[in-house]
Structure 1
C-alpha cells in the first residue's frame, strides 16, 4: 500500500457530535474459521485504506482556544488491523433463537476503546478499531466495527461498508485515477455553502433561538450520579404498527410516516412509564430529540459523504399531552395523533432544506467550539429521550462475498444510557411476520413500568 499522510481539522458539523466511539456488531452465519476470515477482512481493509487513507488516522485535540479536534494520518506509522478475539462458549444458534440480544456478547471480544482524558501527552484516538470472534458451535462469526463518532456517523458507515465489501471480494471500486472522487472524508455541498453564507451573519442569540435543543450554559445543576440503565432489544411486529397507523390516521389532517408514528409511540409509552415511578415529572414539560440525516438533500449522483451530516430536532409537549390514555380507544388515538403532529413539526425544517445544518455550522463557529455547546436534553444525563432511526440504512443488503454473504443481524453495543433509543436497520422479510427492532436504554424501574402499560403490551405482541 502506498504511503499517505495528511492533517484535517474537523469542521463544525463533525465537532457538534459527542466525542465518543460508537460500535456496531455484524453477525454472520458461516462455518468458516475465524483465522481465515480475519485475513479476508484485513485484505479488504488494506485496499479500503488505499482509497480512504484517513481511515488510518488518529484524532488529536487542536490544542488551541477552540477546543477542537484534528484528524492526522500517516500510513507509514499506523494502519488499522482486524484483531482475532478467538471464540466464545456461546452457541450462535442459541443467540439467533434469542433474537441476538446485544447484552449476550461479552465485553472482551470488543476492541478496547480509550477516551482523550486517558491518553498520554501527544497520543491520539484511532478512527477505527475492529475485532472478529467465533462461537462455540462454529456456526457463525461476529465482526465488531468501532468508529469514532466525531469522524463518521452511522449513514457514513453504511456507505463505507459497501465499498469495504467490494474490496474484500476484489471487486474494482475506483478508477486508476490516484485521487478518486470519493477519497475525501467530507466535502461541502454547494447548496449548504450558500446557506452558511446567509446564517454566518446571524447573532448567537438568534441561532440559539432557532435551535433550543442547544445551550451554552447549564440551565439546571448537573447530575453527579447518572442513572443506572439497562439495554434491551425490543421487537415490534410491523402489522401492529400498521394497524395503529390506520386507527390514528382518522384523527390526522396529514398522514404521517411509520417512523413518525413509532417515535410518537415510544415517546408516549416511555414518558407514561417514567411517570409511574417518578410522579414529580408531571410538573415539567417532556422533551424529545430526534436525529435528521442531511444526505436526503444531496443529489442522487453525489459521491459518498463519510463525515457527520446530522441535525438534532427537538419537540416539547406538556406531560399530560404525551401520556393521555383515558377516555377509550378513540380518545387515545386522537391524543397520539397530536403527538405525531408534534414529532413531524419538529423535523419539518430539516426535511425542507439545508438551513438547519447551516445554522448549526454557524452556531459552533460563534460559540468557539463544541465543548462550549451542549444538548439541552443529553440522554447520557438520564433526563432526556433521544431517538435515532437507522431503519432506512441498507446494512442488511451489504454482501461480503462467498462464505459470508449478508449479515444475519446488525446490533450496537449496549450503552447503559437512560433515555437512548436506536431504531435498528430494517431487515425486509420475504416470508413471515416482519418486525422492527428497537434498542432501548432505560432504568430497570422504567422497563418494569413499561411492561405494565396496556398499549405497550399490545404493541409488542
Structure 2
C-alpha cells in the first residue's frame, strides 16, 4: 500500500495525538479462526481481483466541537459491532486450489479481528488537499489521488500481500475528513458495498441489525445462482462472456502505459438535466416495454456522445459495443440486502454511424430492451456462464469486460442507486458533502455513474483518451446537459 510521500499513516489512531481516543476490546465475538466462506460464483472470476472504492467527503471545521478522535472512535466501535454479526468482513479473499471436491474456489479466510482502519493525518502537510479547496473545485477526481487517500490500490491484484475483504482509511484534512472505503471486488459489487456502508453506519449508532439483514449478509453464496446440469454444452449464448484462457500474465494487473494518453475526469449532471434527458429520450420510444429509466437515458446519452467524439478517427461502418453492468439479484430471488458480487453485463452493439445518427430514444429503448430477461434469456445465459466457470480450473474464462476494445467500445457501470449520502457513521459530522471515486490509474473506456446526491445530482467518473475528452468538451450537445469539473 502507498501512504503518500512521507505523511505518517497509522493503523488505528495513536492515543497521544487524539486525547479523546479510548482503546476498545477488539476481541472477536465469534471464533474467526474457523472462517471459511465461499464467494458468490460470479465473484470467482479472476478479472475481479481488485478493490472497488468510494471516498465520502465530510466537513469537519477546525472550530467544530466534534473531535477527530470521537469520529474515529465511532468508526472503530462500529467495525467491532459489524464484525460480530458479519465475521467475514474482517477476512481476506484467498484462492483455494482445485481438489477432489471442486475446480478451484475463491474463499474468505481469517485475516484480522475487524476490518483494518487506517488513519492518516494530512492537516500539517503542505498540500492543496483541504476541504475548502475541494469544495471550491467541486471535489474533482484529480484531487483525490488513491495513492494518498485510499488504503489499498484499486488494482490490488497486481501487488503482493493479503486481499482484505474490507479496508477503511480516514484522512484528516484541514476542515474535513475524507473516508475512503475499499471492498475486494470478488467479495462484493457496488450495491454490496452500499449495504456494508449502511450496516456499518447502523452499527456506529448502536442500532441492532434485523434478522433479515443478518441472514442476507451471511447467505451461503456459492450456489445462489443455480448451475445447469451436466448435459449442458456451451453455445453462442456465451459470446462475449466466456473468453479464451488468459495469457500467463495476470489479467488483473494495473493498466500499462498507453501510447495514447488517457485521463480520469468528472462530469456533473444536475437533476433538471437528467429529467430533461429522459423527456427527450421518451419522444422516440421504441422498446416493447413502453418505458425507459433515467439511467437508460443517461447511459445512452453518454454512449452516443463518446461515439461522436471518436468517429472522426474510426471507420463509420465499424461496430462498437457498450458493456453495461447490471445488478441481477432480482433475477434469482437473492435479497437486495445481500452484500456479495451479483453482477452481470449486457451488451449493445451497433455501427458508429448508426449510434451517432439515431435519436436518443432509439438508443435508450434498445438499452432498456436488453434488460428484459424474458426476451434476452439473461437468466439462462447467466446460469450457463457460471456453469462453465464452475467446471473450469481457469477462472479467467469469465471476463466482465469480455472482448471490449478500449479505443472503440465502452464499459458503463451505474451505481447511482447506492445510498452513500445517507450514512454518517455517528461521527457527529452529518452526511457527506460529496461521494467520489478515488483517482485510480488511467484505464480508458470506462464510465461510472456515482451515487446520486439527495438533490438528484449524478456525477460521472470517466476514463477516456485525452483526445476524446477534448472532443466532448467541444460537443455542444454534451455540454448542454453535462458539466466538466
| Per-residue deviation, 1:148 | 0.8
The reply on whether 1:147 has 2:173 as its aligned counterpart is no
Q: In 1, Cα distance between the equivalents of 2:244 and 2:77?
A: 48
* Runs of 4+ with deviation above 6 angstroms: 350-353
- What is the match of residue 363 of structure 1? 388
Contact 2:59 2:432 in 1 (8 A): yes
Residue in 2 that maps onto 1:319: 352
User: Which residue, out of 448, 452, 466, partners 1:426?
Assistant: 452
Could you tell me whether the CA contact under 8 Å between 1:379 and 1:417 is conserved in 2? no
- 1:250 corresponding residue in structure 2: 283
| 8 Å CA contact retained: 1:55, 1:128 | yes
What is the CA–CA distance in structure 2 between the aligned matches of 1:370 and 1:182, rounded to whole Å? 26
- 1:228-267 aligned at under 5 Å gives the runs 228-253=261-286, 254-267=290-303
- Separation (CA, whole Å) in 2 of partners of 1:69 and 1:380: 28
Match of 1:386 among 411, 428, 441: 411
Mapped partners of 2:196, 2:430: distance in 1? 17
Q: TM-score scaled by structure 2? A: 0.79
Which of 81, 90, 94 lines up with 1:47 in the alignment?
Answer: 81
Secondary structure at 1:370's aligned position in 2? coil
Distance in 2 (alpha carbons) for counterparts of 1:225 and 1:110: 22
Cα contact 1:158–1:394 (8 A) shared by 2:
yes
More helix by share: 1
In the other structure, the counterpart of 2:14 is none
Partner of 2:243: 216
Structure 1, unpaired ranges of 5+: 325-333
Contact 2:86 2:214 in 1 (8 A): no
When residues 241 and 54 of structure 1 are mapped into structure 2, their CA distance, relative to the original with a 3 A threshold, is closer
1:286 and 1:316 in contact (8 A); partners too: yes
Q: 1:232–1:441: 8 Å Cα contact kept in structure 2?
A: yes
Please name the residue that 2:172 is paired with.
134
Cα distance in 1, alignment partners of residues 299 and 438 from structure 2:
21
1:142 aligns to what SS in structure 2? strand
Give the corresponding residue for 1:170.
206
3-state DSSP class of the match of 1:404?
coil
Task: Classify the secondary structure of the residue corresponding to 1:133.
Answer: strand
Report if the CA contact (8 A) 1:27-1:408 is conserved.
yes
Kept in 1: contact 2:165–2:187 (CA 8 A): yes
Tell me: CA distance 1:174–1:423, structure 2 relative to 1, closer, same or farther (3 Å): same
Q: Any gaps of 5 or more consecutive residues in structure 2?
A: 1-27
Which residue matches 2:25? Answer: none
Preserved CA contact (<8 Å) 2:55 2:178: yes
Match of 1:97 in 2: 136
Shift of 1:377: 4.6
Does the CA-based 8 Å contact 1:291-1:389 persist in structure 2? Answer: yes
Label 1:321 to 1:284 Cα distance change in 2 as closer, same or farther (>3 A).
Answer: same
Name the counterpart of 2:18: none
Q: 1:45 to 1:448 in 2, by over 3 A?
A: same
After TM superposition, the structure 1 stretch with the greater mean CA deviation from structure 2, 3-12 or 403-412, is 3-12
Aligned length: 428
The 1:404/1:449 distance shift into structure 2, 3 A limit, reads same
How many Å apart are 1:348 and its aligned residue?
1.9
Question: What is the RMSD of the two structures over their aligned residues, measured on CA atoms?
Answer: 3.1
TM-score by length of 1: 0.83
